[in-house]
Amino acid sequence: MKNIHKMCMETAEQYGAPGNYVVGANIAGFVKVVDAMIDQGVV
């Protein structure tokens, strides 16, 4: 849980919405899915 929280906060800050947990969680989840798709050769 600590890692998830940290990832959400860091991602929100990285994408210009510091402190916005929802934005960070959505972007972090999306990036994780895209990275998996790239690793599998889908994209």
In the prediction, which pLDDT does 14 show?
96
Q: What is the pLDDT of residues 14-30, one digit of tens each?
A: 999 999 999 999 999 99
The full DSSP string for 1-43 is: -HHHHHHHHHHHHHTT-TT-HHHHHHHHHHHHHHHHHHHHT--
Q: Where are the domains of the chain?
A: 2-40
Q: What is the mean pLDDT of the chain?
A: 95
**DSSP code at position 18:** T
Average the pLDDT over 3-23 and give the result.
95
Single pTM value for the model: 0.84
Say if residue 5's pLDDT is above 80.
Answer: yes
Residue 43's pLDDT is 77
Please provide residue 17's backbone torsions phi and psi, each rounded to the nearest 5 degrees: -135, 60
